[in-house]
Structure 1
Amino acid sequence: MSNYLKGIARLSIIACTFFYSTASFNDVEVGSRDYVVGKELYSKGILPNGKLVKATIQGDIAVEGDQLICETCHRRSGLGSTEGQQVVPAIAGSVLFKPLRIPTSKPPEPPTYREAYTKETLMKAIRDGIDANGDPLDPFMPRYEIDGQALDGLMAYVNTLSKTPSPGVTEDTIHFATIILSSNNATDNKALLDVMEQYVQQKNIETRYESKRAKNAPWHKAWLFEPYRKWQIHTWELKGEKETWPAQLDAYYTQQPVFALINGLVPTGWESINDFCEGYGIPCLFPTTQLPVIDDNNFYTIYMTRGAVHEAEAVASYIKKNPASGEVVQFFDNTDQQSAVAAKSLRIELQKSGIKVLDVAVDKHLDTAGLSSGLDAKQTVVLWLDKRPSDELLSSTAMSQTAPKVVLSTQFYGTDSLHIPREIEKSLVFVHSSEMPGHLNRLLLRSTGWFKAKRIYNSATREIQANAYFALKVAGDATKHIRGYFFRDYFIEKIEHMIDDLPYTSIYPRIGMAPDQRFVSRGYYLAKVDGKGGIRNITEWITP
């Protein structure tokens, strides 16, 4: 048998055995000394004495850094991973400390594939690369230099991994939720909820026979049918001031725990929802928001883009590569959080390169003449404003006479270039962070066809519907891939692994993701006025 087939067989046996097993090692108190020691070693590679662990691979090759962190390969869930033909086995206590048996249909007791690990055999595996059966482990498995104290901690910690299925799942139903705001445009909310309702309804109808199969599955197909659950999606509508949202979220969750949050429409103010998801350990998949929380410590929330910060980074990249001899003048709306965040981010990025930035705050009472006076052709002007105030500034006498270099983000201005004066067309550039309008229909052909078949399509809310559909498809695929291992960490890990190969990418030409990355679209186009009232790209999709 090839190494590849052996790996698949090993993974299948682990899968079949783990689902029905319970931990046989001693119960561990989360927060105990052993637990803390084990977590530091497993997730950071730090020994009890505070030093980094050392190890070798393939006999005598010294390794360090992320290669030695258990979590890098065996993952946060402890349920392992795959990379090409390389299978990294599960090491959660429920698997590690029980014998792995090849499933059979009836007595006698099934044969043992791998003996249960004890403290002695686990130490031998970690230090010498010899498994519980006495066979050598993969040569790429590091041989660690650890002592008994570190081993006790590691055994305690892995015994807590993926031990109890996550909340939000019953014997026949898996619960999800989506979040909207009562202050949102009613048409936008309806567009999202229509997609959610129709998708879940169709999914449950198409798989209605799976419930019967789950209850009466033959022994050799139990792993395939028994994980099936009917979907139920709940709408969590947040009302009032942002300060009250955490209490509302707690109340919704207390009433009905959910396994994950799918999409959602919260243009600004996502911080409290992000904190809720990270605090409860709830996966939150691809919310539609322009102000995501950018925090390297986040694990459970996955966004489409970096929102306003992404726009600023794209503009900064263009300015650095095409510097003007003068300063950068950016106009922003000081009453709009998205505009203010973009301006702050651009200022920070440009100041890193020593580029001077002049901020011009704009309010409702736009003094076009006063604001645009003093501009000259040596400057670069950036507008973080909606279309109306932007058009007023672009049409001002001072702007047309000096014709400075101008940069617009289509997230703020849109793609309608009909009112841009001809005098500044040549010096104006757009940053566009999704597929070009002329190619979007083709990209969304699959989802648009489905929306039309369900009679819920609305061209005015195409982005909202496309993002909701994308989030639902990813959640559906990931739920299928976890095969009944209803652990939220494992769910997130499966999404990390599958994003690069998805045939649907919402409104973005390309998406991608790797472990610990939390933004799937990181690219943009540079575009110019097309002379027909729209825009045309002058670059390929740029990914920093």
Structure 2
Amino acid sequence: MTRSTWHRLKARLSSLFSRAALAIPLFLCVLGPAFPAHAATKEELKLGERIYREGILPSGERLRVNLHGEPAAPGLTFTCASCHLRSGLGAFDEGVYVPAINGEKLFKPLPRTYKGIVLNEGAEPPLRPAYTEAALIEALRHGKDPNGRQLSASMPQYQFEEKDLKLLVAYLKSLSVEFSPGISEDRIRIATVVSDDLPPAKRDALFTTLTFFVNLKNGQIKGFGNPRSGSKSRLMAENMLPSRELVTKSLSLARWVLRGSPDTWRAQLEEYYRNDPVFAMVGGAVNGSWQPIHQFCEQNGIPSIFPATDLPVLSENDWYTLYQSKGFYQEGESAAHFLAQKQVNETALVEIVRESPQGKALAAGFRHAWQELGQIAPVTVSLPAGEKLEAKALQSAMEKAGEGGRAVRLLVWDDASALPALALFKEKLRPEALVLSGRYLGESLWTLPEPVRGFTYLTYPYIFMPLPKPVMGRTLIPEDTKQAMRKGEVPVRSETQQVIAQTNAVTQLLSLLLMDLKGNYYRDNLLDVAGMMTDQPHPLFGRLSFGTGQRYASKGCYVVQLGPGTNPELVKQTGWSAQ
């Protein structure tokens, strides 16, 4: 199971301190007369946000802390967000409670609750009073709560100057105070995005699966609120929707269709959002890169959950899009690790790269991993878009690389149009190994010429399991696929089936996330909750691993070979390797 940043922080701290019971843990700020009452500017809020998230002061220096006698450490190690999360709503994990410190919670008394229900409000004293300026300074600098009690050993004592503290206070006053756009008293508004050139079968599979999910959830909500539905229906609804607040809100799905060139998509997205603000974007699929949608979500702070894309944006810093995998890039990485394990001296490596988004992503993933493994860069031959791979050109590249009798390994990052050229390998000249992308070949991988199958290896990013009987979109599974599934272990061959499987994964994840929000409808909280999730099963990618800041949930890929015959099987050559 992938551990979150909080898990790692907790392990570090436990090596320094014996953990005391977390009395009334953190703090952070408060309203007070010493702080001017003027509204913070956007620039001031950005500076406060940087202190909170990164531990970096306006001067560019890192925030310094003391840890009960330990030497001061860089604030980057103990940022507010590392424990209280981006939303400021904290967490309860493995018996450790990290309280909310957002503006909505911090400046009010902390009531006693049980499973989210306030106990004897007015009769029982609160766990702590609202923070005041003096209490805030005491908590920050000396680790004491408003009652004068010492906070947990895990609570850092910050070396703050008042001007920097003021910036942090201003940011926290604005943090997770009002619900995010797309949330109303009785509705959660979500959207899915497709491009108009998406094949109709894929588009319909996506829309049908999401619509089925929305209708199912709304039906459960009606069952919960309808006194005529009977006790069994109400009990089922309560079990399916354990968040009492959630049963007051129905789901509403908007379909955003992007038309024309990707260069125009950003303006179309802005127009859709202006007319119909949504809480999050779920699923979706376009022909080509997801980059225009990714950038739109990043700049508008809109979560995008599990788009069905093989061309995600690769970033270590972006936050708002959660992908199912790295797509083609990940296959390239897996090919590099596979070949490096089989590497021998005096072997040449030739790479044929189609000048397409898919070919470039495969090549980029391969080269990055290949370089990290300390290998010599391959000889690369570019194949312009629209130009067919010719057998003569392929043979020429092979002969040049194999001068002196060297064995040649060949990577062909191209689609099914490359398959006819591979017929030359029936002759004397042939590579020691040929590597292709199973995903890029698509359903044509099953037509790979039989004479080359013995030395051809395919990157294959899907697990070898039948699709489970789906909860959503069950009428979209073709009868021949159902029959194949009954026979046992089979790969998923249809691209439409893949879209269904990926969209089903979206609905299952979204259902869990909405329940775990516990009525706190803040977009950053949606992604904070995702980062704290345990591993989840996936019908295509096996298991999805989550963690704070992780944006690519599936990390594995097989390398396979195609067996003989007209109805061949895929034969695994590696395990489900994670890069």
Q: TM-score range with shorter-chain normalisation?
A: 0.7 to 0.9
Deviation at 1:59, TM superposition (A): 4.2
Deviation at 1:390, TM superposition (A): 3.1
Change (3 A) 1:210 1:399: farther
Equivalent-residue separation in structure 1 for 2:428 and 2:127 (angstroms): 78
Deviation at 1:261, TM superposition (A): 0.5
Equivalent-residue separation in structure 2 for 1:108 and 1:403 (angstroms): 80
1:407 aligned residue:
435
Q: Is the 8 A contact 1:99 1:114 kept in 2?
A: yes
- How many residue pairs end up in the alignment? 512
1:482 aligns with 2:493: no
Equivalent-residue separation in structure 2 for 1:331 and 1:399 (angstroms): 20
1:531 aligned residue:
564
Equivalent-residue separation in structure 1 for 2:43 and 2:126 (angstroms): 33
Change (3 A) 1:415 1:10: farther
1:430 aligns with 2:458: yes
Equivalent-residue separation in structure 1 for 2:353 and 2:419 (angstroms): 14
Equivalent-residue separation in structure 1 for 2:61 and 2:271 (angstroms): 43
Equivalent-residue separation in structure 1 for 2:315 and 2:414 (angstroms): 26
Provide structure 1 residue ranges, at least 5 long, that are not aligned to the other structure: 15-21, 214-222
* Aligned residue identity for 2:542: P
Deviation at 1:107, TM superposition (A): 7.6
Equivalent-residue separation in structure 2 for 1:55 and 1:191 (angstroms): 53
Deviation at 1:45, TM superposition (A): 1.3
Deviation at 1:419, TM superposition (A): 4.6
Deviation at 1:70, TM superposition (A): 1.0
1:31 aligned residue:
42
Change (3 A) 1:299 1:10: same
Residues 400-457 of structure 1 deviation map (CA, whole Å, 9 limit, x = unaligned): 533331111111124766554555444322221120xxx321xx3142x6533xx232
State the TM-score, normalized to the length of structure 2: 0.81
Change (3 A) 1:284 1:374: closer
2:505 to 464, 470, 481: 470
Change (3 A) 1:108 1:406: closer
Q: Is the 8 A contact 2:358 2:440 kept in 1?
A: no
Moved more, 91-100 or 56-65: 56-65
Deviation at 1:162, TM superposition (A): 0.2
SS in 2 for 1:395: helix
* Aligned residue identity for 1:71: A
1:116 aligned residue:
130
1:393 aligned residue:
421
1:67 aligns with 2:77: yes
State the TM-score, normalized to the length of structure 1: 0.86
Deviation at 1:171, TM superposition (A): 0.8
Equivalent-residue separation in structure 2 for 1:378 and 1:95 (angstroms): 67
Q: Is the 8 A contact 1:23 1:95 kept in 2?
A: no
Deviation at 1:488, TM superposition (A): 0.3
1:331 aligns with 2:352: yes
Q: What pairs with 1:100-179 in structure 2 (closer than 5 Å)? A: 100-102=110-112, 108=122, 111-179=125-193
Equivalent-residue separation in structure 1 for 2:522 and 2:121 (angstroms): 30
2:238 aligned residue:
none
Higher relative contact order (CA 8 A, sep 6+): 2
Equivalent-residue separation in structure 1 for 2:322 and 2:418 (angstroms): 32
1:96 aligned residue:
106
1:384 aligned residue:
413
Equivalent-residue separation in structure 1 for 2:446 and 2:165 (angstroms): 68
RMSD: 3.1
1:451 to 457, 473, 485: 473
Change (3 A) 1:529 1:252: same
Residues 461-502 of structure 1 deviation map (CA, whole Å, 9 limit, x = unaligned): 11100111111111111111111111000011111111x333
1:357 aligns with 2:390: no
Change (3 A) 1:273 1:511: same
2:51 aligned residue:
41
Equivalent-residue separation in structure 1 for 2:161 and 2:75 (angstroms): 19
Change (3 A) 1:60 1:105: closer
SS in 1 for 2:257: strand
2:549 to 516, 521, 538: 516
SS in 2 for 1:125: helix
1:202 aligns with 2:216: yes
Deviation at 1:48, TM superposition (A): 4.2
SS in 2 for 1:312: helix
The percent of aligned pairs where both chains have the same amino acid is 27
* Aligned residue identity for 2:396: S
Change (3 A) 1:293 1:89: same
Change (3 A) 1:224 1:526: closer
Equivalent-residue separation in structure 1 for 2:341 and 2:369 (angstroms): 13
Deviation at 1:225, TM superposition (A): 2.2
Moved more, 257-266 or 88-97: 88-97
* Aligned residue identity for 1:81: A
* Aligned residue identity for 2:104: S
Q: Is the 8 A contact 1:300 1:492 kept in 2?
A: yes
Equivalent-residue separation in structure 2 for 1:65 and 1:523 (angstroms): 34
Moved more, 474-483 or 357-366: 357-366
1:506 aligns with 2:563: no
Provide structure 2 residue ranges, at least 5 long, that are not aligned to the other structure: 1-17, 228-241, 482-493
Moved more, 101-110 or 456-465: 101-110
SS in 1 for 2:50: helix
